[in-house]
């Protein structure tokens, strides 16, 4: 009975406006990053992208999560290549994925830097990472606590942690700008009146009309993000790459370069060599 209730909650969450919009964003990122690549390997860390769809037939997708119940739900939904692994200790060899989608994972782990280092380890050189996280600690509320979140982020903090772990930042943009002002007003009102609405994770929820409306608004934002970075929002999206190893430059001492220009002719003596610069 408890499993059935949990699966129903996961099903509602999967159909929510944020899950649908995040899924579209991550799928679009994968399609652009791996366009034209055959047999590319993609890691969906957190199972947020759900890349089991027709146009992903050219990709080899691995869906990873640390919860067996979440993986069981995705198996019932028809997803495949499901792997149970902790994000801090990914059960994959180094340099094994062309791209990693990390949808709403970092805020729920104890050590987000360790997760980013593991992601960098399993990424191939030049591989793309796409991260989504909730934004601004002043928006912290009951939903964060109920979801097991440990932090929210700002753009500068996310950039700093990615740079610390050796990533090259491509872009950072806020997302869900349409929901920012209502969220700020709601948080301000609760702080002023010191009242909170009891969180009921399995009751009520957003109406179908409001859910569809938010999906439509976020579709517009997603298209805008193709051209500009949104300045604020309740979520953050970051695109980063693992740097490709540069070819080592071999430095040849000046005196070796000097003698290499004038090879010694056969049968000649040292007197036939050009005069060294220091002897002039």
Half-sphere exposure of 265 (CA within 13 A, CB side): 7
How much of the chain exceeds pLDDT 70, in percent?
A: 79
pLDDT for 72 beyond 80: yes
Q: DSSP 3-state assignment of 129? A: strand
Higher pLDDT, 143 or 200: 143
pLDDT, one tens digit per residue, over 222-239 is 999 999 999 999 999 999
Q: Would you give the DSSP letter of residue 88?
A: T
C-alpha dihedral, 11 to 17 to 18 to 20, nearest 10°: 70
pLDDT, one tens digit per residue, over 171-216 is 999 999 999 999 999 888 887 776 554 443 333 457 889 999 999 9
H-assigned helices in 79-207: 112-122, 142-146, 155-164, 180-193
pLDDT for 31 beyond 60: yes
Average pLDDT, the chain: 84
- Using 50, 70 and 90 to split pLDDT, how confident is the model at 264? very low
Contact 124, 95 (CB under 8 A): yes
Q: Measured between alpha carbons, how far is 191 from 152 in angstroms, rounded to an integer?
A: 18
CATH architecture classification, 2-241: 3-Layer(aba) Sandwich (3.40)
Number of Cβ within 10 Å of residue 22's Cβ equals: 25
Contact 152, 176 (CB under 8 A): no
Which range of 72-76, 105-109, 181-185, 247-251 scores highest in mean pLDDT? It is 105-109
Torsional sign, CA 250, 251, 255, 260: positive
Q: Measured between alpha carbons, how far is 26 from 48 in angstroms, rounded to an integer?
A: 8
pLDDT for 255 beyond 80: no
Q: Where are the domains of the chain?
A: 2-241
pLDDT, one tens digit per residue, over 37-70 is 778 899 999 999 988 654 445 678 999 999 999 9
| First-to-last C-alpha distance (Å) of the chain | 95
The strand pair at 168-175 and 235-241 is best described as: antiparallel
Contact residues for 87 (Cβ-Cβ < 8 A; gap 6+): 45, 46, 64, 66, 105, 109, 115, 118
Please give the full DSSP string across 219-267, using - where no structure is assigned: HHHHHHTTT--BS--SEEEEEEEPPPPPPPPPP--HHHHHHHTSPPPTT
């Amino acid at each position: 009975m408890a499993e059935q209730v949990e699966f129903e909650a996961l099903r509602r969450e999967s159909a929510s406006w944020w899950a649908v919009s995040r899924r579209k964003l991550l799928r679009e990122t994968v399609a652009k990053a791996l366009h034209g690549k055959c047999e590319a390997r993609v890691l969906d860390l957190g199972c947020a992208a759900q890349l089991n769809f027709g146009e992903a037939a050219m990709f080899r997708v691995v869906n990873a999560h640390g919860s067996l119940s979440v993986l069981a739900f995705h198996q019932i939904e028809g997803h495949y290549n499901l792997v149970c692994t902790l994000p801090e200790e990914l059960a994959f060899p180094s340099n094994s994925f062309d791209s990693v989608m990390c949808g709403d994972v970092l805020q729920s782990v104890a050590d987000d830097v360790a997760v980013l280092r593991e992601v960098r380890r399993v990424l191939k050189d030049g591989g793309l990472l796409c991260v989504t996280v909730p934004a601004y600690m002043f928006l912290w509320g009951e939903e964060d606590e109920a979801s097991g979140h440990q932090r929210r982020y700002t753009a500068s903090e996310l950039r700093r942690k990615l740079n610390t772990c050796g990533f090259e930042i491509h872009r950072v943009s806020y997302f869900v700008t349409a929901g920012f002002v209502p969220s700020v007003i709601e948080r301000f009102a609760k702080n002023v009146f010191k009242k909170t609405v009891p969180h009921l994770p399995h009751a009520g929820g957003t109406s179908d009309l409001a859910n569809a409306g938010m999906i439509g608004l976020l579709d517009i934002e997603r298209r805008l993000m193709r051209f500009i970075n949104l300045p604020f929002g309740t979520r953050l999206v970051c695109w980063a790459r693992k740097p490709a190893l540069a070819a080592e430059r071999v430095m040849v001492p000046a005196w070796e370069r000097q003698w290499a220009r004038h090879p010694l002719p056969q049968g000649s003596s040292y007197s036939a060599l050009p005069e060294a610069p220091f002897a002039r």
